[in-house]
């Protein structure tokens, strides 16, 4: 499993350029079907707009862009280029334009659609999806304080705690931190508490959009 950057949530922002209104929307997606459904939803929402330019990039390798009636190369490709430059994947964007009566020209359109996607990405936020181990420990109540303190000290994030005959903590962490945690738990509990690996999945870590686009 390899880490990757994607969008944190759906984001929307807009601006006006020479009386044309541009509305940028960005959303995390995982498949072509999800991306197509998102684009269709935005087009339906802004049914009276002149254009809804779109682009998406998937972790599986698929890429797409559409000028949606704008002059070829002035909208879809610039939108896709912003996505690629940002480094995100499993992400889709649209920029909807309400024409204000003043032509922007080729350069103006490229700048406007580029800006629209950038604003949408900023609104959505970027997260780095890191591969992490999902783990579990059981401990007696008199060791709970020690165990709960050691987990974050070694880069673990607790996802769930349950209290029954013993305390059970479910948490996730990067695999490279596990050996030190195992040693620390063994020292603190005389070998009584040992992490059990439940599986592996991705967990998000926030990333600065500006940092990714430099």
Query: Using one digit for the tens of pLDDT, what is the confidence trace for 129-184?
Result: 999 999 999 999 999 999 999 999 999 999 999 999 999 999 999 999 999 999 99
Among candidate residues 124, 156, 177, the one where a domain is terminated: 124
Quote the strand ranges of 119-195, DSSP E: 126-139, 157-163, 167-173
Domain that holds residue 200: 128-207
Q: Is residue 49 in a domain?
A: yes
Residue 186 lies in a domain: yes
CA 201 – CA 100 distance, rounded (Å): 47
User: Could you give the count of Cα atoms lying within 13 Å of 162 in the half-sphere of its Cβ?
Assistant: 7
Query: Given a cut of 70, is residue 2 above it in pLDDT?
Result: yes
pLDDT above 80 for 82: yes
Number of independent structural domains in the chain: 2
Note whether residue 169 is domain-resident.
Answer: yes
Q: Output the CA torsion 100→102→106→112 (10° steps).
A: -40
Same domain for 87 and 159, yes or no, is no
pLDDT, mean over the chain = 94
For residue 213, what pLDDT band results from cuts at 50, 70 and 90? very low
Last residue within a domain, chosen from 124, 150, 179: 124
**Burial class for 9, CB neighbours closer than 10 Å (0-12, 13-18, 19+):** exposed
Do 60 and 88 lie in one domain? The reply is yes
pLDDT of residue 204: 87
Q: Nearest-CA neighbor of 96 among 62, 124, 119?
A: 119
Residues 92, 55 contacting (CB under 8 angstroms) = yes
Residue of 56, 25, 57 whose CA lies nearest to 42: 25
What is the mean predicted confidence (pLDDT) over 90-104?
97
| Pair (113, 26) in one structural domain | yes
Q: Are residues 99 and 11 in the same domain?
A: yes
Same domain? For 146 and 113 the reply is: no
Whether residues 134 and 71 share a domain: the answer is: no
212 assigned to some structural domain: no
118 lies in the same domain as 133: no
Is residue 67 situated within a structural domain?
yes
- DSSP structure class, residue 147: H
Query: 50 Cβ partners below 8 Å, 6+ apart?
Result: 69, 97, 98, 99
Sign of CA dihedral 203, 205, 206, 208: negative
- Quick one: 119 and 22 in the same domain? yes
86 Cβ contact list (under 8 Å, min separation 6): 5, 121, 126, 209, 212, 213
Residue count of the chain: 214
Last residue of a domain, one of 66, 92, 124: 124
For residue 144, tell me if it sits in a domain. Answer: yes
Q: Within this chain, do residues 17 and 110 fall inside the same structural domain, yes or no?
A: yes
Q: For residue 213, is it within any domain?
A: no
Asked whether residue 151 is assigned to any structural domain, the reply reads yes
Same domain, 95 and 36: yes
Question: Given this model, what pLDDT does residue 209 score?
Answer: 52
- State whether 23 and 82 are in the same domain: yes
For residue 111, pLDDT beyond 50: yes
How confident is the model at residue 214, as a pLDDT?
42
Structure confidence at residue 53 as a pLDDT band (50, 70, 90): very high
Kindly indicate the confidence band of residue 207, based on its pLDDT and cuts at 50, 70 and 90: low
Q: What is the pLDDT of residues 25-35, one digit of tens each?
A: 999 999 999 99
Question: What separation, in Å, do the N-terminal and C-terminal C-alpha atoms of the chain show?
Answer: 26
Share above pLDDT 70 across residues of the chain, in percent, rounded to a whole number: 96
State residue 23's pLDDT score: 99
Per-residue model confidence as pLDDT tens digits over 181-200: 999 999 999 999 999 999 99
Residue 46 sits in a domain of what CATH number? 3.30.230.30
Q: CA–CA separation, 46 vs 62, rounded Å?
A: 26
Contact yes or no for 209/125 (Cβ under 8 A): yes
* pLDDT recorded at residue 206: 67
Same domain? 55 vs 10: yes
């Amino acid at each position: 499993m390899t880490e990757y950057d994607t969008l944190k949530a759906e984001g929307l922002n807009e601006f006006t350029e020479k009386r044309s209104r541009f509305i940028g929307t960005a959303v995390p997606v995982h498949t072509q079907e999800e991306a197509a459904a998102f684009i269709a939803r935005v087009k339906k929402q802004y049914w009276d707009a002149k254009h809804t330019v779109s682009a998406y990039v998937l972790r599986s390798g698929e890429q797409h862009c559409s000028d949606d009636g704008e002059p070829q190369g002035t909208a879809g490709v610039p939108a896709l280029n912003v996505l690629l430059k940002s480094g995100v994947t499993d992400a889709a964007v649209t920029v909807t334009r309400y024409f204000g009566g003043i032509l922007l020209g080729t350069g103006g359109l490229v700048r406007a659609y580029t800006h629209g996607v950038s604003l949408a990405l900023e609104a959505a936020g970027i997260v780095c999806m890191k591969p992490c181990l999902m783990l579990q420990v059981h401990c007696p109540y008199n060791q709970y304080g020690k165990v709960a303190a050691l987990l974050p000290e070694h880069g673990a994030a607790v996802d769930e705690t349950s209290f029954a005959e013993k305390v059970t903590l479910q948490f996730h962490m990067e695999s490279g931190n596990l050996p030190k945690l195992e040693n620390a738990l063994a020292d603190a509990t005389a070998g009584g508490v040992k992490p059990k690996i439940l599986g592996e999945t991705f967990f998000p870590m926030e990333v600065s959009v500006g940092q990714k686009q430099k």
